[in-house]
Structure 1
C-alpha cells in the first residue's frame, strides 16, 4: 500500500510535484505507464524476440532529447514483449529451452521494473528542481495532520523518494495480484466464512466440541478471547485469507483488501485498515481554498478526512503486531499498518530483497512522518488530545498516553542509504560487493578458486502463488555464479544505484560484470582496447548467450539514458558498457545499428577504431556501401574511418606475410629483374573477403593469377573511392600497392590496381593542382589541397609510365619474335609447270607484302617503345620516382610533422594523422622508391639496349653509354661495377658489329652502310 497516502487517493508527491512550474499535476506511479497489451492469448503470432534490438533503437532515436519519455517508451516496449512472451510461453520455451526461456522472460520483467523506477524518481527530481523557489513554509498555527504530512513530503526529498520506492515495490506485486484475483477472491465471501465450524456446531455433540476445543460462539475475536480453535479446514482457509489480505497490503492495494473484508462481513477489519490515515478538518485551519468551498455550500462533514484517533489506531496496531497469539499473517497486516519493522520482518520469512527493502522503507516513512507530526502539531483544539503522538495533557501524568517503544521513533532517523544497508544486512549479502568479487575472480583468471554463493529466495507473493520464474538458489560453492543469481544481483545493484544516486558506483559495477557477459575474444578486446591486431576476431563466428545479449542491450540503453539525465557521469565506465554492446551487435551482424551506437562513444578516436573494425570484417560489397551510408547518417567521420579500415587491412596483410615467411625456407636475395616465387597456400583464409567477392572485384582473369593476399590488398582500395574527396588518399594507397607488386614482379596485379581506381583520376587531380597554382600565381589563397597530393600524383604518373613501358616492351617483343611472317615453302623454279611457278610467285609476293607490313609495324612499335623507355630515363627533374620539394607557407615550427615532400608523419602520441598508415611510413616509402628507381631504371637501360640490338640499331645502342654517363640524369649511379661491366660488354659487341660493317666502332665512317643491308 502507499503509506500515509492522503484520502484523496493520491500521494502528496504525486499530486503536487510538477516538472515545470506551469505543468499539469503529475500522475501517480501506477498511471505513469501504458500497459495495454499488444498480443492476446488467442493471437497466433510468432514473436521474433530479436526485433527488440531494432525497437529499442527506434524508441531511443525518437525520444533522444527527452530521457524521461525515452524511459517511458522503453517500459512500454518491455511490457509488450513480456505480455507476448507470457502468451506464447510454450512456443518460446521450445525455441529457447525451458530454463533459458524463463530467464529471458525474467530479464525482461526486471528491466521493465528498472525503467519504471527510473522514470518515477527522475520525474520527481526534475519537478523538485523546477519548484525550489515555490516552497511553502510551515506556519506555526492552524495546520492539520494531513497538511503537515503534505508539507513534509514537499520539503523532504529523501522521504519523498523513499515513498516512490515503496510505491514501485508495491506496484511490482500488484500486477501479480491482479492476474490471480479472479481465481482466489471468489473463495473469500461471507457464505464460505467458517462454514465447517458452523456445521460442526449444528451437528456435533457438545461433549465432542469440548474435547476438540472448538469454539462455541461465532464472533470476530472468539479464537483469541477463548483460546479455542476453528475447525481445521476453516483455520486453513482463514490463514489463506489473512495471507492474501497481507499480500494485498504488500502490493499497495488497500482498496482491494477492504473490499474483501466487506465481502466476508468483516467491516471492523476494513475500518481498521483506514486507521493510519491522517486527520484533516477545515474548522481547525485557515486554508483559503477550503474556506471558499465552505462558502460554496460544501458542508464541514463532507470535508472532514482521515482518522481523528489515528494515534490510538497506531498503538493498537503496533501491539497487535507483537501479540504472539494472533495469526502470523494478521500480525503482518498490523505491522505494516503501524510500521513495526521487527514484526514485519518476522512475517516475511521469504527474505526476498524486494520484501525486506519494502519493510525497511515502510518503517522509515511511517516513523519519520509521525515524528514530524509529533513535533509540528502545536495549534488549536488538537493540542490537548492523544493525536500529539505520545504527548498527553500535562495534568494526566507522565505515565498516561501511548506506550510505544523507542524503536518506533528510531526508524525515522534513518537515511535511504541505511534502509538499503540494513536490507543487505538482513539478507546476509551485498549485490554490489558480490558482483565486484565475481568480476575480480573472472579477470584474475582464478577459475579454480570457489566462493560461497549467497542464498536467494522467491518473494512472499511468488511463494503464496506457488510460482517462480527461477528456482530458489541455495548457498553453494562455485567458481562462477549461476545465471539467475547473476541476473538478480545485477538488478538489485542497479536499483540501489538509481535510488541512492550512486551513479559512479553503478557504472563501475556494470563495467565490472561486462566480461562475464561476452565471449573470451571480446573480453580481450575490452581489456586491452581495440587495435588492428585484435579486431579481426569480431568477424569470426562467436557463440553468444541470448540472455547476456539482452542484459547488455539493457545496460547500454540505461547508460545512454543516464548520460542525458546526469551529464557528469564518468566516461570510462560508460564507454566500456557501450563497447561491449557494440561488439555484440557486430558479432550478431546487426548492421544498421552499429553506426548509431558507435556514434555515442565519447572519443572520436574510439568511434573511428570500432567502426573501422566493423567495416573491415564485412564481406559483401553491398553491405560495405550500405554501412558507409549508415555511418554518414549517424554523423561519423567517414574519412577517418575509411583510412582506419585500410590501415587495419594493411596490418593484417603484414601479419599474413610474416606467417608465410616463417613457413617458407629462407631463400637468397635476388634482383628485381628475376621473378620471385609466390606462395599459393595460406595458413588460414583472409578475414575480410571471400573468393567470390574477390573475383567480382578484380575479375576472374586477374584473380586466377593472384594469391588471396594480393586480391585482398587490391580490394582494400574500394574503401577510399566512395567519397570523392578521398581520391587523393586512394591514390596514395594505390601507389603503395603498385610499388609492392612491381617489386614482387606481379605486373598483372599492378595493372588490376589501376583498374580499381576511378576513371581519369590522375587527370582530375592534375587539374586541381594546376588550378591551385593559377590561383597562387594570381595572388589568391589557392585551393585547400593537401601538401602530399602533388608528390602522390607525380609518383603515380611515374609508376604508370613504367607499367605502360613494360607492357609496350612485352607487346613489341612478342610482335618481333612471334608475329614475323613465315616464307613460302615452295621455291621459285622448283617446278616446271606454269601453274606451280605462278602460284609460287604469288606466294612470294604475298610474303614480301606481309613482311613489309610487319617491318613497318615493328619500326613503329620500336620507335614508340624507344620513346617510352627514354622518357623514363630522362624524366623531368629531379628524375623518375623522385619527389619534388613542396611549396608551403607553413611556419617552421609547424613543419616537424611534415616531410619536405608533404607526406604526413605519425603523431608524437602514436595516433596516425591524415594519410599516415595508408601507405608505408615516410621512411619506408623513401626507401622503396629509391630501390625501385635503382632497379627499374637499370632494367629499362638493359631493355633499351636489347631493343636497339634486336632491331640492328647498333649506333643508337652505342649512344646509350652517353645517356648513362650524363650527369643531369645520374643513371650511372644506379649501376654496380659488375652491372656496368655487363652493360659495357653489350655495347662492346655492338661496336664490334659497327667496326665490321663500316670500319668504325662508333659508326661515323663515310662508307657506313645501312643497318638493314
Structure 2
C-alpha cells in the first residue's frame, strides 16, 4: 500500500470540507484548543507541585519498563493452529476503525477501548491507601520490608499447595499473583510516605525489586508452559511429516497464516521468541500512560491550527505563517517541503510518542483508537497492513454458499517495503519511524527511541520473529505475481537469542549496558536462553561472593527457581543448587521466619537437613515453641532424633576447652548463661520417649563437662532435667523394639554412668552439708560473767549455758548422723560395684574414645580428692580409727584405687592419715586403729 494512494480520499474530503466553510471554528475567538490545553497543563503542573509539597505522591519511572500484566494471556495454553487467524472485517468496518478486531499475534488479548489513563483512584483504592497509611508499620524505619515480609510465608504456602510436578504452572501463577498483590500494596503504601525520606527510598527499592520478580515469574510461566508441553509432544512432532502431500498443495501455500502457523508449530525458537515479545509488551510500564493522550474528542481533526490558518486565508485574512503547508493531506509536508503550524508540530510529536508507547506495549487496538481520536484514521489503516493474508473460502468445504471475507493483507510485501522506506526517511519524526520500523522489522530505526534493556530486548526479538516469518512466507507461499523484494539489510539480519544478548550487553547506551548487569535481567536472560546450567552457576556465584549484600527477596527468588527446576526434572549441578538453598535457609533463620524453616530445610540433602535445622533450633527458647518446631520437623519428614542429638551436642560443645581444676570439691563456680543453655538443651530430647536413650547419653556428657570444672550445682540441674523414670523408659523402649531385655552396650554403659554420676553428686552434696554443719552451724558458747556480776546476770548466764549445752548436744547428734551419711555416700563412690566408679562393665564394639578419656580423667581427678575429703570428715568428727583405715581401702587390690593417685596426691593422703595416727597415740590407742589387746 502506497502512502499517497491511501490518502487521496482523505484529501478530497478535506478540500470539500474547506469549500463548504464548515471547518472547525476555534473556541474562544482565535484561541486554539491546543493552546487552552497547554494552559491547563501548565496550571495542572503548578497545582501538582504544590500538592507534592504538602502530600507528595509516587511519580517515579523505573529505568526498566514495567506494567500491569492483567491482560497477559500467553500464560494459558497457546493454540498455535489459531495463532494467526483473525476475524475478517467488512468493508464498512475498514472505513471506520471505531471497533477494530483483536490484533495480537500469535497470542491475542482483549483490550478496552482507548480513553486515556484513568489517573483518579477509585473509592476502594483510596480506602486501601488510607488503611495502609494508618497502619502501625508506617512509622517503621523500613515499612516496605515489613509489609513484604509476608511474602516468605505466602510462597511457602503456595509451594505446599502445588507440590506435585503436574501443578508446576499453577505454582508459577501463584508466585506471580502473590508478587503482584505485594507490588500493588507497596505502591499505595508509598502514597502515604514523604518522598526523598529514607523510609520512602527503602520502600521504593522493595517495590522495584518485587516488580522485577513479578515479571520474572511471568516469564517463567509463559516459557516453561510451552517447553513442558513441547517435551510431551516431542515424539509426535518428530514423527510428523511436515513435507507431506497436504503441505505441498497449492491451496495450502496460498495462505500466509497456514505457513506461519506451521512455522510456529515446528520451530520452538521462533515460537518462544514470540512469547518473549509478548511478555515484554505486557511488562511495558504503565507510567507511560500518565498523560491524557486523547486530547481531540469534541472535533477529531488533525492539525487543527493549520486548518484554522488555511480557513482564515481562504476568507481573505492574512496569516503570518509563511512556511506552513497549503494542503491538508498527510503527504503534504513531504511533498511541499513545508511543515504544519508550530503548535501542530508539537502536538504531532506528542501524539507519535504516545503512539509508539502503545505499539511498544502491544496495544495496537488502542493505537488505532488514538489515531481516530486525533483525526488520523488513515494512520490507523496503515497499522493494519502487517496482517497475514488468509482466504478461508479455499478451505470451506462444508457450505459452498457461505462466502467469508478475506483476512489480512494480500499485498503485505508492498506494505512492508513502504514501511521500511518510511523508517529510513530522515525528515520523519523518530517515533513515527520507530512505529513503522517495529511493524516491518527495521531494527536500526527502532533502537534510537529505546531507552532501557527491556526496550532493546523487545526491539531485537520482534525483529528476529519478523525476519523468520518473512523468510518462511517468501519460501513457501504460492502467488501469481512477483513479490516485492525486501531490502538487502533485511536479508542480512541473522539474529539469534545468544547474539541478541551479546549485542545488548555491548550497546552504545551506557544505561542499557548497566541494566544488562541487573541480577533480575541476568536471570531473565538465561531463562529465555534456556541455559539452566549457566543460570545455576551465576546464582551460585552471587551467593558465594555477595551473600551478605544480596536482597532477601532475591535470595528467595533464586531458591524457588531451584525448587521449581527440580520439580519439573530440569535440575542440574546439585551441589550448586544445594548451596543456593542453604543460603536461603540461612536467610530465613537470620530474619526469624521460624514457621517455614522446616519446610525449606526438607529440600536439602539429609546431612544438610540435620546441620541446618540443628542450627535453627539452637536459638529457640521456651518449651512450647521447641515442641512446635519439632512437630513441624516431623511433618516435613526430617530426622528429628538425629537433629535433636546434634542440637544438644552443638550446645554442650561450646567452650568445652576448660582445664581440669586441681580440687574438684572446691566451692561451686557461678552458673553462666551459657551453662544454663547447655542445661536446657536436654529439653530437646525429652519431648519424645523414643529419644530417651539419647537424652541419657547427652545428659551424661553435659554432667561430665560440669563436674570437671567443679560446677556441681549445674550438674545436679542436668540430672534433674531427666525424668525419674528414664531408666525404665530406656528398658521399655528397647523391649518394644526388639522383644529382648538385653540392652545395647552403649545404652547399658550410659545407664551405669548415670548411676555413677548420681552417686558422686550425692556424695558431694552430703560433704557440703557436713562442711556447713561443722563450720557454720556449730553453737557458740556464751561469754562468762564477771566475778562481781549481779544475781540477775548470773541467772541469765546459767540459762544461756543450758541452752548452749542443749544445742551442742543436738548439733553433735546431727553431726554424727551427717558424718555417717557422708561417709557412706563417699564410700558408695569409692567402692562402686562391678569394677569401680565410671568404669564400663560391657565392652562396646563402637567405643567412644573421647568418652573413655574423659571418664579416666575424672577418676584420676576426683577419687583422690574424695579420699581426702572422707578423711577430713572422719578426722574432724573424732573417728580416727576409720580415718586410718582409708589407707587399707586405697591399697586394696579389689578396687585398686591407688592407680588413680599420682605421687603428690598419695603423699598428701598419707600425711593426713599420719595425723589421725598421732591422734590415736595421744589417746593411748593403737596407731593403726586396731584395738589394743
Aligned mates of 1:708, 1:99 — CA distance in 2: 41
Does residue 405 in structure 1 map to residue 487 in structure 2?
yes
Aligned mates of 2:661, 2:78 — CA distance in 1: 85
Shift of 1:201: 1.4
Q: How does 1:357-372 map to 2 (within 5 A)?
A: 357-372=457-472
**Structure 1, unaligned runs of 5 or more:** 1-8, 19-25, 387-391, 393-400, 429-453, 458-474, 476-484, 520-543, 662-668, 679-704, 888-894, 904-921, 1008-1013
Does residue 792 in structure 1 map to residue 750 in structure 2?
yes
Question: Does the Cα contact within 8 Å between 2:611 and 2:643 map onto a contact in 1?
Answer: yes
558, 562, 568: which one pairs with 1:555?
A: 558
Does residue 583 in structure 1 map to residue 586 in structure 2?
yes
Shift of 1:343: 2.7
Does residue 109 in structure 1 map to residue 211 in structure 2?
yes
Matched with 2:724 is 760
Aligned mates of 1:91, 1:77 — CA distance in 2: 22
Aligned mates of 1:166, 1:670 — CA distance in 2: 75
Q: How does 1:55-454 map to 2 (within 5 A)?
A: 55-65=154-164, 66-92=167-193, 96-135=198-237, 137-138=241-242, 139=246, 140-141=248-249, 142-143=251-252, 144-173=255-284, 175-176=286-287, 179-180=289-290, 183-187=292-296, 191-204=300-313, 212-285=322-395, 290-292=396-398, 294=399, 299-302=402-405, 304-345=406-447, 348-378=448-478, 383-384=479-480, 386=481, 392=482, 401-411=483-493, 413-425=494-506, 427-428=507-508
Question: Does the Cα contact within 8 Å between 1:615 and 1:624 map onto a contact in 2?
Answer: yes
Shift of 1:955: 4.0
Shift of 1:193: 1.7
Question: Does the Cα contact within 8 Å between 1:332 and 1:343 map onto a contact in 2?
Answer: yes
Matched with 1:501 is 530
In structure 2, relative to structure 1, the CA distance for the partners of 1:305 and 1:839 (3 Å cut) is closer
Q: How does 1:728-807 map to 2 (within 5 A)?
A: 728-755=693-720, 757-764=721-728, 767-768=731-732, 782=740, 787-807=745-765
Aligned mates of 1:989, 1:236 — CA distance in 2: 117
Shift of 1:167: 0.8
Residue deviations 1:90-139, cap 9 Å, x none? Answer: 32455754443433322222211111111111111122223345546442
Aligned mates of 1:74, 1:1000 — CA distance in 2: 93
Aligned mates of 1:92, 1:504 — CA distance in 2: 42
Aligned mates of 1:85, 1:489 — CA distance in 2: 21
In structure 2, relative to structure 1, the CA distance for the partners of 1:358 and 1:795 (3 Å cut) is same
In structure 2, relative to structure 1, the CA distance for the partners of 1:956 and 1:110 (3 Å cut) is closer
Q: How does 1:488-887 map to 2 (within 5 A)?
A: 489-514=518-543, 518-519=547-548, 548-601=551-604, 603-618=605-620, 623-654=625-656, 671-672=662-663, 675=666, 705-755=670-720, 757-764=721-728, 767-768=731-732, 782=740, 787-815=745-773, 857-886=814-843
In structure 2, relative to structure 1, the CA distance for the partners of 1:176 and 1:156 (3 Å cut) is farther
Question: Does the Cα contact within 8 Å between 1:582 and 1:598 map onto a contact in 2?
Answer: yes
Comparing 553-562 with 186-195, greater Cα deviation is found at 186-195
Aligned length: 801
Aligned mates of 1:11, 1:137 — CA distance in 2: 29
Question: Does the Cα contact within 8 Å between 1:93 and 1:102 map onto a contact in 2?
Answer: no
In structure 2, relative to structure 1, the CA distance for the partners of 1:224 and 1:800 (3 Å cut) is same
Q: Secondary structure at the match of 2:666?
A: coil
Question: Does the Cα contact within 8 Å between 1:29 and 1:167 map onto a contact in 2?
Answer: no
Question: Does the Cα contact within 8 Å between 2:885 and 2:929 map onto a contact in 1?
Answer: no
Question: Does the Cα contact within 8 Å between 1:367 and 1:410 map onto a contact in 2?
Answer: no
Matched with 1:462 is none
CA RMSD of superposed structures (Å):
4.1
Comparing 314-323 with 508-517, greater Cα deviation is found at 508-517
In structure 2, relative to structure 1, the CA distance for the partners of 1:517 and 1:77 (3 Å cut) is farther
Question: Does the Cα contact within 8 Å between 2:532 and 2:572 map onto a contact in 1?
Answer: yes
Q: Secondary structure at the match of 1:277?
A: coil
Shift of 1:987: 4.5
Matched with 2:46 is none
Aligned mates of 1:636, 1:173 — CA distance in 2: 45
Question: Does the Cα contact within 8 Å between 1:676 and 1:744 map onto a contact in 2?
Answer: no
In structure 2, relative to structure 1, the CA distance for the partners of 1:640 and 1:197 (3 Å cut) is same
In structure 2, relative to structure 1, the CA distance for the partners of 1:583 and 1:962 (3 Å cut) is closer
Shift of 1:972: 2.7
Residue deviations 1:233-259, cap 9 Å, x none? Answer: 112212322332222222211112222
Shift of 1:857: 4.7
Residue deviations 1:535-590, cap 9 Å, x none? Answer: xxxxxxxxx78xx2233333332332233234332223323333333333333222
Q: Secondary structure at the match of 2:397?
A: helix
Shift of 1:161: 0.3
* TM-score between the two structures when normalised by the length of structure 1: 0.71
In structure 2, relative to structure 1, the CA distance for the partners of 1:563 and 1:112 (3 Å cut) is same
Q: Secondary structure at the match of 2:334?
A: helix
Residue deviations 1:510-557, cap 9 Å, x none? Answer: 2323467543xxxxxxxxxxxxxxxxxxxxxxxx78xx2233333332
In structure 2, relative to structure 1, the CA distance for the partners of 1:105 and 1:822 (3 Å cut) is closer
Aligned mates of 1:238, 1:1003 — CA distance in 2: 124
Shift of 1:419: 2.9
Aligned mates of 1:30, 1:730 — CA distance in 2: 64
Residue deviations 1:199-242, cap 9 Å, x none? Answer: 21122488976972322222221222222221111122123223
Q: Secondary structure at the match of 2:722?
A: coil
Comparing 413-422 with 980-989, greater Cα deviation is found at 980-989
Shift of 1:195: 1.2
Shift of 1:970: 0.8
Greater length-normalized contact order (CA 8 Å, ≥ 6 residues apart): 2
Matched with 1:915 is none
Residue deviations 1:371-413, cap 9 Å, x none? Answer: 21222224xxxx32x3xxxxx2xxxxxxxx52322332343x5
Shift of 1:175: 4.4
